[in-house]
Structure 1
């Protein structure tokens, strides 16, 4: 709780860097202009494309399933649990 979440998606062995990278939270596409704020995406394209989803000041509602979906490769998911700092 309160920390920055850094989720990193790597795309390897694709014929070319993915033209687009979609991120979703609990099957809903992440809106980077949402009132939640503090959510950003950094993508570096190359032989291995790296896409980092950064979520600042994590709160309980940030828990859930995150999925990155490159436009030319298989999707990958991870489940995030937000814990209280004193546990």
Structure 2
């Protein structure tokens, strides 16, 4: 059961990456702001993951980490699509 939830949260992060890379870039003015927001959220999630090892919130933290990994992976895929 946890494997399905982890894969679903990873794919949700990948979907969020596609949203974050296409919608703000339509105007061309929000690229720097959206990039800084994405980096800030990734760092806040990483700080929360690696500083707290509580057992009662472990599933939520693990899901946030999978979403974060999906966002980073999706942005790398988009960067490779733009580079080719």
Normalised TM-score (structure 1): 0.29
Structure having the larger proportion of residues in helix: 2
Q: Which has the higher contact order (CA 8 A, sep 6+)?
A: 2
* Larger strand percent: 1
